Amino acid sequence: MKTEIFKDFKWENKTDFSINKDSLIIRAHPHSDFFISPAGDKRSSNAAFFYTETDREFILKAKVTHAFKSVFDACTLMVYSDESCWAKFCFELTDFGSHSVVSVVTRAYSDDCNGVKIEGNTVWLQITRKGKLFGFHYSLDGINFEKVRYFNLPVKDTVRAGFVGQSPSGDGAEFVFEDIALDFNVTNVRSGC
């Protein structure tokens, strides 16, 4: 993705950031997240979100890297319809001490699902959309993607899709998104192509 593609992107909860060639670096705000506790006792929507709006099917992917400083720090790809309907796909430092691919789907309340553990600080994440169907896939090499989740989300026609840097329990951190691609030609949401 060339940097000029970002001209249609906007900020929610703007933060310090930089764009260099095909990379985006986001500096997360301290104690920032998008999450609605399943118990109903906590709601956060203050994480930095750099997004574009689209009513089209799409595949959004990026190579993501960070230093795993604090629990729940995460490089995140997110699709957002409204304050109670959204989903995010994270590379996160879990509360079990692992570097894991984590999915969160919010329909009034957020669920929270730890996925595969990843060795190292880098992985590729991908969100695929076709209508109200979504797929989350990850890759260790940027070529071969594995399915984490396939689901229906009752989104509006136009959604926000983009990148989040979150640091729910920490004092902020730097998150790197590279090899960013946004493709509007989707064949199969379940397989991510």
Using the structure block, give the residue that is written with the tokens 């730097």. 174
In sequence order, which residues have a C-beta less than 8 Å from that of residue 28 and are 6 or more positions away? 15, 47, 48, 73, 165, 166, 167, 170, 172, 173, 174, 175
Report yes or no on 61 lying in a domain.
Answer: yes
Domain that holds residue 64: 3-183
Note the pLDDT of residue 4.
67
Q: Indicate the pairing of strand 48-54 with strand 159-166.
A: antiparallel
- Kind plus residue range of the DSSP H or E element containing 66: strand 58-66
Report yes or no on 56 lying in a domain.
Answer: yes
Looking at residue 28, which CATH number applies to its domain? Answer: 2.60.120.200
Distance CA 172, CA 66 (A): 11
C-alpha distances in Å from residue 42, one per residue of 4, 33, 63, 91, 168: 37, 11, 30, 22, 12
Report yes or no on 189 lying in a domain.
Answer: no
Using alpha carbons, select from 18, 10, 32 the residue that is nearest to residue 178: 18
Note the pLDDT of residue 165.
97
Report yes or no on 76 lying in a domain.
Answer: yes
Report yes or no on 190 lying in a domain.
Answer: no
Q: Hey, what are 128's tokens? A: 């695929």
Report yes or no on 71 lying in a domain.
Answer: yes
pLDDT tens-digit series, residues 138-158:
999 999 999 999 999 999 999
Report yes or no on 26 lying in a domain.
Answer: yes
Task: Please give the single-letter amino acid code of residue 27.
Answer: R
Note the pLDDT of residue 5.
73
- Positions in the chain whose pLDDT score sits under 70: 1-4
Cβ(177)–Cβ(161) below 8 Å? no
Note the pLDDT of residue 1.
44
In sequence order, which residues have a C-beta less than 8 Å from that of residue 82 and are 6 or more positions away? 156
Tally of domains within the chain: 1
Q: What is the distance, to the nearest Å, from the Cα of residue 154 to the centroid of all Cα atoms in its chain?
A: 18
- For the chain, the average pLDDT equals 95
Compute φ and ψ for 133, nearest 5 degrees: -100, 140
Report yes or no on 109 lying in a domain.
Answer: yes
